[in-house]
């Protein structure tokens, strides 16, 4: 089985999803798979998150599922029990980093400043979420913030304010392995059953990301 981070790096994009009903989980998984995007970050911003992960794990094991917005050990445990193969957080909490390491779960904590990155690097973090990427200054900001840490080989997944139009700018940075995108499967699209739209969004995002990765190869 492909390591989840290798899969994400190969795709160049991860859909960041807040889903309200577990009953929509399989249809969402099918839409992503139809769009050629076999990965999903289900954020723990809704009560349904753990049940959604479990439903996807059981019905569509070919989809690599992960958990987002992991802010405490309780949700980390729920995510793992529900089948999450990776996890992310908006900020850096050393306690969660240590807990994920103990569980052998690939974990990507969030950073926004050189101070954040200093603390994360000291804890052994080598994959970080740059969040909120747009507000924090975009690709130029990440290039500047990460430059003093380049010798450590830290890689990034920018999320928050990334769009299909800016995928290429982000992936032009070699330290960026993928971008996180909320536009691919919006909460309202899932709620309204617009799964064909989600599949089309996934297809378009995968295409743009592939072209960007090939360009920098």
Cα(197)–Cα(64) distance, integer angstroms: 21
Handedness of CA 141, 172, 130, 96 (dihedral sign): negative
Q: Write the DSSP symbol of residue 164.
A: G
Paired with 87 in beta bridges are 67, 107
The catalytically annotated residue of 20, 34, 77, 129 is 129
Contact of 120 with 145, CB cutoff 8 Å: no
Closest CA relative to residue 133, chosen from 172, 162, 97: 162
Active-site hit among 41, 77, 103, 169:
41
Asked whether the beta carbons of 9 and 3 are under 8 A apart, the reply is no
Active site residue 41: yes
Active-site annotation, residues: 41, 129
């Amino acid at each position: 089985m492909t390591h989840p981070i290798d899969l994400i790096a190969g795709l160049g994009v991860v859909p960041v999803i807040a889903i309200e009903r577990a009953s929509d989980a399989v249809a969402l998984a099918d839409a992503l798979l139809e769009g050629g995007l076999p990965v999903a970050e289900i954020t723990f911003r809704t009560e349904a998150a753990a049940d959604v992960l479990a439903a996807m794990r059981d019905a569509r094991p070919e989809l690599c599922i992960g958990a987002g917005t992991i802010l405490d050990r309780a949700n980390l445990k729920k995510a793992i029990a529900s089948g999450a193969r990776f996890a992310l957080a908006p900020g850096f909490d050393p306690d969660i980093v240590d807990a994920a390491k103990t569980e052998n779960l690939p974990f990507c904590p969030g950073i926004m400043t050189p101070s954040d990155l200093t603390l994360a690097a000291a804890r052994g973090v080598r994959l970080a979420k740059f969040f909120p990427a747009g507000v924090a200054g975009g690709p130029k900001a990440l290039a500047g913030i990460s430059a003093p840490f380049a010798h450590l080989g830290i890689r990034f997944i920018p999320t928050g304010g990334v769009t299909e139009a800016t995928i290429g700018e982000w992936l032009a940075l070699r330290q960026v392995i993928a971008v996180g995108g909320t536009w691919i499967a919006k909460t309202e699209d899932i709620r309204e059953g617009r799964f064909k739209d989600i599949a089309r969004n996934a297809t378009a995002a995968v295409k743009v990301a592939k072209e960007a990765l090939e360009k920098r190869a």
